[in-house]
Amino acid sequence: MMRTAVWFGLTLASACLAQTVPPDYGHDFVTIGAPGNRGVTPAEAPLWRFDRFGTFGGVDYEFRITRTEVTNTQYLEFLNVYTKLPGHRSTFFMAGSGIFNDGFDPHGHAILRIFSGAEQAPANPSWEFAARYVNWLHNDKGTRLEDFERGVYDTSTFGIDPVTGKRTDQLERSPGSRFFLPTFDEWTKAAHYDPNRYGEDQEGYWYFPGASDDPLVSGMPGEPGAETGVGQTPPEFWFAFHAGSFPGTDGPWGLLDTSGGAMEWTESVLDQGFDDRTRILVGSQTIDPFGFLSSDRLDDITLGLWEPHGFRIASVVPAPGVATAVIAGFCVVCWRHRSVA
């Protein structure tokens, strides 16, 4: 009887645990701990408008975030499914700069390819398609149109109110989302927060990525002393360097490319007193063909919506949840049984 009960409990525990762990789907996630950390102080972010926007960076829960930005190779898998579905939406910034249309197959579907040399460079679609990417992951890489349009962000909300002229996009991820675009707070914590910034157990924020209070040293990948590709020109001019090109600039949590990859989308909107629902962009990119470079300082951000930018994805932390409770409960039962015996 006891053997049967233990076997049943362990089987149930395994099933419960399997339900709570989102697959990685080939992404390299790191876990950001220290839940309940404080936000940035004025001394740590002197250029930030605390009087208008308050502090930022505090997160009350653990979460996962990808070590690098999503690459063109990872993103192309998504596009190759999505663009073959009847009713899919195509826009100018759907594919980004690293992927091109190489004609059409016999069924009339676009043949999408990655420019040579850009396979591991950051993908850079518009925010709307970065949102569809996490919808797809949340829905277990489904093959129905609704798997791309619902789940985390409801794309039916994407648009402009004809009366007010303001955007109607869903502002925050839906409850229960397993994958999502990181908020400004989540990204800031992952890139700049250090639980031991000022000494053991003395939390704080670094001004620049890579656990530095000084601007990072610009250079080519592999060049001695180089910490970021900002200001450099990759061999393939229109693309940033490959993901992870500067492995020594990893910061307190092990994130790479928070400087010198691509500017990255977040889920967050900065409240400027009007509802245009433009998203906060963070980080800095290697080059910018349009002549605009963002800074990778803690207190400097950019806003955007339609233009192409990079992104990394975040996810819930696999939690023991019911599984651990079941295992613990059966361990107690077994211990009591042995004690009574």
Q: Could you tell me the mean pLDDT of each successive run of 10 residues in the chain, 341 residues long?
A: 42 42 93 98 96 96 97 97 94 89 89 93 94 98 98 95 87 96 98 97 96 92 92 74 92 93 91 72 69 71 85 84 40 37 42
Residue 237: per-residue pLDDT: 62
pLDDT of residue 2: 40
Q: Kindly state the greatest CA–CA separation across the chain.
A: 78
Residue 224: CB partners within 8 Å, gap ≥ 6? Answer: none
CATH topology of domain 22-317: paralog of FGE (formylglycine-generating enzyme) (3.90.1580)
Q: Going by DSSP bridges, is the β-strand pair 204-205/264-269 parallel, antiparallel, or unpaired?
A: unpaired
What does DSSP assign to residue 194? Answer: E
Cα–Cα distance for residue pair 166/159, rounded to 1 Å? 8
Q: Where are the domains of the chain?
A: 22-317
Query: Are the C-beta atoms of 190 and 58 separated by less than 8 Å?
Result: no
pLDDT of 330 reads 37
- Which residues, including other chains, have CB under 8 Å from residue 212's CB and lie 6 or more apart? 206, 227
C-alpha 289 chain-centroid distance = 24
Edge-first strand order for the sheet with 29-32 is 29-32, 63-66, 314-315, 179-180
Cα Rg of the chain, angstroms: 22
Nearest-angstrom CA–CA distance, 78 and 134: 10
**E strands, 246-330, in order:** 264-269, 279-282, 302-304, 314-315
pLDDT at 331: 38
**Three-class secondary structure of residue 189 per DSSP:** helix
Q: Of 141, 135, 124, 142, nearest to 70 (Cα)?
A: 124
